Structure formats: C-alpha cells, structure tokens
Amino acid sequence: MKMLFINRRGCLRVLLAVAVLSATSILAQSRQPKYIFLMIGDGMGVNQVEIAHRYRKLTSQDGSGLIFESFPVHSKATTNPVDAGKITDSAASGTALACGFKTENGIIGMNPDFKPGRSVAFEAHDGGRAVAVISSVGINHATPAAFYAHQKKRNMYDAIGSEIARCNFEFLAGEPLLGDNQKQTRAIIKAAGYNLLSGRDALADSDKHAKVMFEQNIPYQSELRTDSIRLADLVRAGLKKVGDSPTGFFMMVEGGKIDWACHANDFGAMIGETLEFDDAVRVVYDFYRDHPEETLIVVTADHETGDLKYDSSLRSDQKFTAQIANIRLTSAALADKIKDWSTKGDHAEIAARALAASGVNDATDNELRAITEIVEVVRSKDKKDRRAKELKRMYGNRNAIVIACHRFAAERCGASFNSVGHTSAMVPVMAVGPGSAMFAADTDNAEIGRKLIQMVN
Ligand SMILES: [Zn+2]
C-alpha cells in the first residue's frame, strides 16, 4: 500500500494497470460474452434435429446440414416442470430457461407460489445490455412471455401482453398479440413509448425507433411467398436494432411452429419449421463470425413434441428426400381441403386424396382401408370444431384423418410420431463461443437459465 504515497499520478497509473489486468483475467476466466443469443426450438427434440439435419445435408448445394449441428458443444437437457413426474408445457420450461427455476405448468415467470422471477432478459437489461425477444408465434405466447411477463396462467394473454409496456426491452417481434382485448393491450404498450410496427418496410426501418414491437403473421415454410416475413428476417431486424449496442445485448429467438407441426404429427412441416429455425440461427452465426471472441450462441428446445422416433438406416437417402418432396399440404391446409372434399365424394375417395396430399402416393390396401374407416367415423359424427380460432391456428385442426395420413408419410421416411402431445425426452443443447464450455455436460433447463443469468451479471 506504500505506493499510494509515492506519487499520485504514477500510483494511479499502477492501480489502473492492475485493475485492467485483473479485469482482463477475470474476463478470460469466465469468458463472459458481450453478445448472448438463446435460440429455442419449441418442441425440437433430438430426432427432429437429426431428421432436419439429414434433409438439409441431402438438399443443400454444399451438402452442409443444420448450422447448429456443427457447433463444438453438444449436450442434452431435462425439461420436467417442478413436479418431476410430470411432462412440461411451454410455460414451465420457458420460465426455467428464462428465470433459472422450476415452476408448474401454465405459470409464466413465477415460481409455484406465484413469486415473480427475474428473467435473464431483465438481468441483462439491468446490467445495461440491450434486449431483443423474437418469436415466430405470438409475442405473448408462452415461450417469449416467460422472458418479460409474470402471470399465473399462460392464457392470460392480455395481462401478459400489457407487461411488454413495463419491460422496456428495445425490440420485441413475432406474430400478432393474442388475447380478447388486443386493441387495449396495444394502447397500453404504445403509451409506454413503444412504436407498434408491422409490414416489411417498417421492419427495415425499425432500428430508427428507441423501442419497437413488431407484429406480423409468419407463414409455415411450405406456405411462404416471396413477400412473406420469416423468422430470419425478424432476427436480422433485431440485430440491426441491438447489434451495435456498446454494452452488448441479450437476444432470445424462438422457432415456435416446430411444436405446432409436431402436435399435428405433420412430418413435412416439422422439417420445414426446423429449417426455418436453422436459417434464423445462420443469421446469428454470421454475427458470431464477425465477433467470435465476444459472442455466445446457445441453441436448445423447451421440450420434445410428438414422441418422434427415427431410424435413419430404414430408408435410403433417395427414398427419404423423394418422400418428403411428395408432401404437399400442411396439416391445417389439408384439414381445410378434407372439409371441402367431404361435401361430395365417398369415403374411399376422400381417403385416397388425403393420403396423396400427405405425400403417400403408394398407399397399400391396408392403409387405404384404415384411412377410409377414419373418414367414415369422422363424417358420421360430423362434430363441429368449437375450439377458439387461435387454438385451431396453433395446433391445426387436430383432425384424425390428417394425423393418420401424416403418420403414414413419416413411416415412409423411417420415422414415427407416437403422441400428439409433449414428452419428457431430453432435448438437445448446442453452443458456440465464449462460455459455451459451461454447456458441455448434460444439464437441466433451469440450470441453463441460471448459467445465462450468471453470465449477464
Ligand atoms: Zn413448447
């Protein structure tokens, strides 16, 4: 301590040098990244990844597969809610990833006693980082909500949406707000200083505003048009907004429709949505390549959906890709078609058309008979689907004919869906960049949340 008295200027210089040195060594030890991406494929289990990876490898020009399959760190995570015997929903697992603790299904951002948590997004923001929350489903759907909201029930969409007004995050983007009072929710968010945007031009200019909420429908991959906005576009705009923040940023990106496709056992849409998610990760990976010393990317899922089994040895590459190319309609589109066809046509005719549209052009007699029987049952009941519109859009018309046809299509690719719900299967974790070694061992989703929180503090 003597040096403190030597010479004021010299001493300061020494102290400064010591401070800089220790800061650098701490940084080197913890390898604290300045830019953090958490990419969540909703419902994206190990087999969803393997199947989409094979498909991308076989169909891409350079033979490369999913970008995140090339990341150096690979592990798996458990996803159960606070009750370990149960299977998680997106609210409990989103909360675990965002806040670092377990909660009950249906709860957003709070523990089972309804004590609100502080998500990694808030922690990052408190520490001066910019924050972006992006999803290919509704901005106030469970997964993105877990990063900014605190509600007892995931379907309290208006209350969840209103919390956007209080989060002050720089950039939120996804499909339009869900809820009964969207108009009022938007007014609350606007009053808090947010610019409410939609449309391609507005997206391109979104970095001109301090705080942005961007809403736009994001079509399924097979239904994209040239002017459609995709998840990757939202990520690009988000990066334009927060990418040059001098204090770094935290960005959460959810590929939300992988889950919807798997709920519907829609094999083609499952692959398409995983590829869309991969394209979003590619945008992020380009950013990583420009800032490799400072950027961490963690890719994971909140749970597996559909109990998808897969054996790649069952089908040749050629059969695998040819079969997938045959799939023409998403489950929601096919359900609508079946409704049309049902006004005329006999059972067997409808069955044959549904099979062909699902990619099953070579149906066996047994398959045709099975689908014909389901058509018969479904038509005889003639039940009206009374679910809310948003539920139908989310999970497709959970039509028994559609599910059975899609299951036959999946089998032709060496795969099988064995559930229309979530499972407790461990999900993949892939990471690259400083800090990625922290995710090298198998872990639990809440542990991922805790580690991320540690990193932004
Ligand atoms: Zn989910």
Q: Largest Cα–Cα distance in the chain?
A: 99
Rounded distance from Cα 116 to ligand 1 centre (Å): 20
Q: Checking DSSP bridges between strand 35-41 and strand 249-255, what pairing results, if any?
A: parallel
CB proximity list for 123: less than 8 A, separation 6 or greater: 453, 456, 457
pLDDT of residue 235: 98
Which of 269, 209, 217, 270 lies closest to 238 in space, CA to CA?
209
pLDDT of residue 10: 47
pTM of the shown model? 0.90
Rounded distance from Cα 90 to ligand 1 centre (Å): 4
Rounded distance from Cα 302 to ligand 1 centre (Å): 5
For residue 110, the tally of other CB atoms under 10 A from its CB is 21
Report the distance separating Cα 123 and Cα 127, nearest Å: 6
Query: What is the residue whose two structure tokens read 């990244």?
Result: 33
Rounded distance from Cα 101 to ligand 1 centre (Å): 16
Rounded distance from Cα 176 to ligand 1 centre (Å): 18
Report the distance separating Cα 23 and Cα 430, nearest Å: 28
- Kindly report, as residue ranges, where domains of CATH 3.40.720.10 are found in the chain: 32-309+421-456
Report the distance separating Cα 216 and Cα 204, nearest Å: 13
Helix (H, G, I), strand (E, B) or coil at 362: coil
Rounded distance from Cα 78 to ligand 1 centre (Å): 13
Rounded distance from Cα 10 to ligand 1 centre (Å): 58
Between helix 365-381 and helix 400-411 the angle, nearest 10°, is: 160
Rounded distance from Cα 130 to ligand 1 centre (Å): 25
Report the distance separating Cα 164 and Cα 216, nearest Å: 17
Which two tokens mark 330? Answer: 């998403």
Rounded distance from Cα 254 to ligand 1 centre (Å): 10
Rounded distance from Cα 268 to ligand 1 centre (Å): 19
Rounded distance from Cα 42 to ligand 1 centre (Å): 5
Q: How far apart are the first and last CA of the chain?
A: 30
Rounded distance from Cα 311 to ligand 1 centre (Å): 24
Rounded distance from Cα 341 to ligand 1 centre (Å): 33
Whether domain 32-309+421-456 has CATH 3.20.20.70:
no
pLDDT of residue 5: 38
Query: What is the residue whose two structure tokens read 């997106």?
Result: 90
Report the distance separating Cα 359 and Cα 54, nearest Å: 18
pLDDT digit string (tens) for the chain, length 457 residues: 333 334 444 444 545 554 554 544 444 334 689 999 999 999 999 999 999 999 999 999 999 999 999 999 999 999 999 999 999 999 999 999 999 999 999 999 999 999 999 999 999 999 999 999 999 999 999 999 999 999 999 999 999 999 999 999 999 999 999 999 999 999 999 999 999 999 999 999 999 999 999 999 999 999 999 999 999 999 999 999 999 999 999 999 999 999 999 999 999 999 999 999 999 999 999 999 999 999 999 999 999 999 999 999 999 999 999 999 999 898 889 988 888 887 777 899 999 999 999 999 999 999 999 899 888 877 776 556 555 665 555 555 567 889 999 999 999 999 999 998 999 999 999 999 999 999 999 999 999 999 999 999 9
**Cβ burial 248-271 (10 Å sphere, 16+ → b, else e):** bbbbbbbbbbbbbbbbbbbbbbbb
pLDDT of residue 6: 40
Rounded distance from Cα 411 to ligand 1 centre (Å): 24
Rounded distance from Cα 259 to ligand 1 centre (Å): 6
pLDDT of residue 378: 77
Rounded distance from Cα 452 to ligand 1 centre (Å): 19
Rounded distance from Cα 361 to ligand 1 centre (Å): 32
C-alpha 278: how far from chain center: 10
The answer to whether 146 and 99 are in contact (CB under 8 A) is: yes
Rounded distance from Cα 303 to ligand 1 centre (Å): 6
Rounded distance from Cα 360 to ligand 1 centre (Å): 29
Tell me the residue ranges of DSSP E strands in 176-311: 195-197, 212-215, 249-255, 295-301, 304-305, 308-310
Rounded distance from Cα 115 to ligand 1 centre (Å): 22
| Phi, psi for residue 256 in degrees, rounded to 5 | -85, -20
